[in-house]
Amino acid sequence: MLKKRDLSIDSEMKNNMLPDLDRSLRIAIDGPAGAGKSTVAREVARRLNVKYLDTGAMYRAVTLKLLQKGIAPSALPQIERILQQTVLEVKNGQKVFLDGVDVSDEIRQPYVNNLVSQVAAIPLVRSMMVKMQQAIAANSSGIVMDGRDIASRVMPNADYKFFLAAALPERARRRRKEQLERGLELSLESVIAEITERDRIDSQRSDSPLVVDPEAIVIDTTAMSFEAVVERILEIVRAGPNIPLQ
Ligand code: CDP
């Protein structure tokens, strides 16, 4: 029996009054690299007092493991074996632990960026990640998940589906700024090249490619502030579900 959300618990929730849902709230946020999904999704989850899951971090962690073991994305039997021996944990939705070690910073390094889309295109890797993501969603009383295939595959019955888009130069500018804040100075050209290549592989793979789900609300964030994007999403969520509850 699914429970109604308890809307009476804290004052922040009162400011973010939600429609009375008879099952837990699930929000999917997809989009290309650097569209601001993770920062926006994390803040939306915080404001709604629900869980957040950064699914990209999971593909990044698997990629790091293959790099550590020197396994190429083409070595499928080896990948299967190594993944069966790997403990992947996501804490607080975004802290990622590989075999007990916090790799949250390392998975953002350029050598992971350059391989992650090839690893994420492997159907075996995808089915393992999707199973974990669906289990996390099933065990939460509400969740915001961001990625590439959340609306189309991981949570096809999500209450709200958003697709965040932004022009390539703006996405590259934001990603470069983020990297600078982490102490990594990259040229704008190299960031443009990296995210263009990732978008190409992510959109062209045969297993759950990056697509705009027909039910998704597209928000072009090019000229919008972070706060404006968060507010737009919250406004839509507060207005009530766009997908009939089952
Ligand atoms: O933050 P950014 O948009 O650059 O990437 P991310 O969300 O950390 O995802 C890294 C990569 O993981 C993507 O380029 C995809 O190849 C893959 N990914 C995926 O295939 N499916 C997801 N649900 C999430 C990420």
Which two tokens mark 185? 């100075």
Q: What is the mean pLDDT of residues 178-186?
A: 91
Q: Distance from first CA to last CA of the chain, Å, rounded?
A: 13
Q: Which CATH number fits domain 24-239: 3.40.50.1000, 3.40.190.10, 3.30.460.80, 3.40.50.300?
A: 3.40.50.300
pTM beyond 0.75 = yes
Average pLDDT, the chain: 89
pLDDT tens-digit map of 143-161 = 999 999 999 999 999 999 9
Cα 131 to middle of ligand 1, angstroms: 16
Q: Is the distance from CB of 37 to CB of 174 less than 8 angstroms?
A: no
Mutate to test the pocket of ligand 1, among 116, 168, 182 (most ligand atoms within 8 A of CB): 116
Ligand 1: residue whose CA is nearest its atom 8: 56
Closest ligand 1 atom to residue 202 Cα is: 16
Cα 147 to middle of ligand 1, angstroms: 6
Q: How far is CA 101 from the centre of its chain?
A: 21
pLDDT at position 1 is 32
Sorted by where each begins, the domain ranges of the chain are: 24-239
